[in-house]
Amino acid sequence: MNTIEPILISHTIEAVKELYQGEIQASQINITATRKEFDGDFTLMIFPLVKISKKTPEQTAEEIGAYLLKHVEAIENYNIIKGFLNLKLQNAFWANFLSAIVTKENHGQLANTGKKIILEYTGPNSNKPLHLGHVRNMLLGYSLSNLLSAAGNDVTRLNIYNDRGIAICKSMYAWQTQAHGLTPDTAKEKGDHFVGKYYALYSKLEKEESEAKGIKPEETDIAKACKKMLLDWEAGDEQLIRLWKEMNQWVYDAHQVTFDSIGISFDKVYYESENYLLGKQMVLDGLAKGVYYKRADGAVCVDLTADGLDEKVLLRPDGTSIYLTQDIGVAHQRYEDYHPDRSLYVVGNEQDYHFKVLKLCLQKLGEPYADGVEHISYGLVELPNGRLKSREGNIVDADDLIQGVLEIAAERTKEQGKVDSLSATELQKLYRTIGLGALKYFILKVAAAKRIVFNPEESIDFQGNTGPFIQYTHARICSILRKKEAAPIANNTYEFNELEKELLSLLYHLPHAIKAAADAMDPAIVANNMYELAKTYSKYYSAYKILNAEDESTIQNRINLSKAVANAIKFSLNILSIDAPERM
């Protein structure tokens, strides 16, 4: 698709050269869509040119405007308000634009950048169910992967399981001593909830023993038994490993059900158990190279005081690895596997410090990929009574949350009574589409950096700036298109009205919005841009007749415009991993 801005910019540069014998950089020329309360399609800021022209903004605008009108064919006329030069394009420009996109399902998809990006998100523990915090992470990560892909990158989606360590041993210990051989199957319980229950049971038992004996939690027999279990695991105790694998598998299978239910996926899953030894080796290599050092007590450390951070331990005095060490190993393995240009981690902002440290550690090791390591930080989800903390039982379970929105969606849809002709299976699918649409949009419309306070008492909205409203707009358009199809028009001379021009302008700027969202790493920009489009279309829908318009040309143009809007909505919804229903 050919865009008009580069043409306007290059002619403005020439105008400045010819009229004022001055030089101006393309980057200094500011062209935006004209705000809807003014007449025009594109606006050129005149202020930056005034220094060169040495004339008043109005006079400069007049001269540049006259020059552009004369040299750029697509411009029909111009008007000047203060230092703003509003350019109005010929109808033919918009008619051609509409014809170009009406049959394109993927208008908004950017050209291939040739860049390979790997993106990690979710990162669950293998001993607990997923909660609301994971939901935001999954949705952000997955839609970010779609967004980066729409921006022309080759994206690979990764997940990593924190599948080893003391926490896992706690649930294993509790299961071994309390479950009497019960399994998720025999207990008829989802595997992650089943295992999570034993993890919680451990905490209860430890607390009871600690209080009964008046000793610290870590001094209890149960804590000691658990610690021994971790050592046995690291030593490769066969029986224990078998149990570990079995219990982890219960959780993996269960998590997969949740991933499928919410509609997200991964291309590859990493396991910390398979990479922590590599990290350890890399740290030892760094020690040999002299980029790390050994402290008096034997711990291997890195000195980051020159970078404004502290001294960080990489290996404990007893030689065992820590979280950071594992991440160093995983980072290396990811690079070995994919050789990406950029290696991204979607992780909450509570780990900002950790990722700064990780990047510095990799840079000090001289790893070639270190500069491409980026932390995509986002705000955490909180409840009205404070932070989500599974340890304190202050959680919203992911499966419950999804179930809840599905029920509300079913209820609302039944109230509306518009889709009674659908089969039971189709209805179930529609409830899921709408319920998940509401949930996903609710979370993704908020800028990633901001924290979200989620009140489970207040149900998620289905009206206004919501997923269902946007889905509804799509369904309405589909209803029209079922009655008459879109088709490009040759030699189109239709005069677009104000609202139609507004819609065309929004569609024209869709690729810019995708670019901006990908640069900012924020799907919220896509969501808000899409809302603007849906809102404007709704206004249009009620203000003008489409199928019943006065003449055939008007009807076909309006159908084509509607089709292009539906395409753009569907494309944008897809980025947010929200389905676009054809009726609701």
CB atoms within 10 A of CB 475: 20
Shortest distance in whole angstroms from residue 348 CB to RNA: 8
* CB nearer RNA, residue 370 or residue 408: 408
Q: How far is CA 290 from the centre of its chain?
A: 39
> CB-based burial of residue 441 (10 Å sphere; 0-12 exposed, 13-18 middle, 19+ buried)?
buried
Q: Pick between residue 239 and residue 463 the one whose CB is nearest to RNA.
A: 463
Residue closer to RNA by CB (options 267, 353) is: 353
> Closest approach of Cβ 500 to RNA, in Å?
13
- What is the rounded distance in angstroms from the CA atom of residue 46 to the CA atom of residue 61? 6
C-beta of 340 vs 563, nearer to RNA: 563
Kindly state the smallest distance separating residue 285's Cβ from RNA, in Å. Answer: 20
Helices (H), 417-509: 424-444, 467-483, 498-508
Provide, rounded to whole angstroms, the least separation between the CB of residue 251 and RNA.
Answer: 14
3-state secondary structure of 133: helix
**Angle value at C-alpha 485, between 484 and 487, nearest 5 degrees:** 135
- HEC readout, 554-573: HHHHHHHHHHHHHHHHHHHH
E strand or H helix that includes residue 154: strand 154-161
Among residues 529 and 574, whose Cβ is nearest to RNA?
A: 529
Q: How many CB atoms lie within 10 A of CB 490?
A: 6
**CA torsion, ordered 399, 405, 408, 412, to nearest 10 deg:** -140
* Nearer to RNA (CB atom), residue 185 or residue 426: 426
Is 582 in contact with 477 (CB distance < 8 Å)? no
Gyration radius of the chain's alpha carbons: 29
CB of 286 to RNA, least distance (A): 16
Closer of 33 and 100 to RNA (Cβ): 33
Closer by beta carbon to RNA, 23 or else 352: 352
d(C-alpha 447, C-alpha 527), whole Å: 10
Nearest approach in angstroms of CB 403 to RNA is 17
Report in angstroms how near the CB of residue 84 gets to RNA at its nearest.
4
Q: What's the min distance (Å) between Cβ of 100 and RNA?
A: 22
Taking the alpha carbons of 167, 170, 172, 178 in that order, is the dihedral positive or negative? negative
Under 8 Å between Cβ of 89 and 44: no
Choice between 315 and 340, CB closer to RNA? 315
In whole angstroms, how close is the CB of 34 to RNA at the nearest point? 5
Q: What does the alpha-carbon distance between residue 205 and residue 258 come to, in Å, rounded to a whole number?
A: 29
First and final CA of the chain: distance in angstroms?
A: 33
